[in-house]
Amino acid sequence: MNVYSACERCTAKWFGDEKLDGCPRCGSINLLHTQAVPPWEKILPTERKSPRSRSTVDQPLEANPDETH
Spell out the domain ranges in the chain.
3-41
Bridge partners of 4?
15, 34
Task: Please provide the average confidence, as pLDDT, over all residues in the chain.
Answer: 80
In the chain, the N- to C-terminal Cα span, in Å, equals 58
Which residue would you say has higher pLDDT here, 52 or 33? 33
Helix or strand run (H / E) with residue 40 = helix 39-42
Which residue would you say has higher pLDDT here, 64 or 4? 4
> Quick one: pLDDT at residue 43?
77
Residue 26 scores a pLDDT above 90: yes
- If DSSP codes are grouped into helix, strand and coil, which group holds residue 63? coil
CB-based contact 15:40 (threshold 8 Å): no
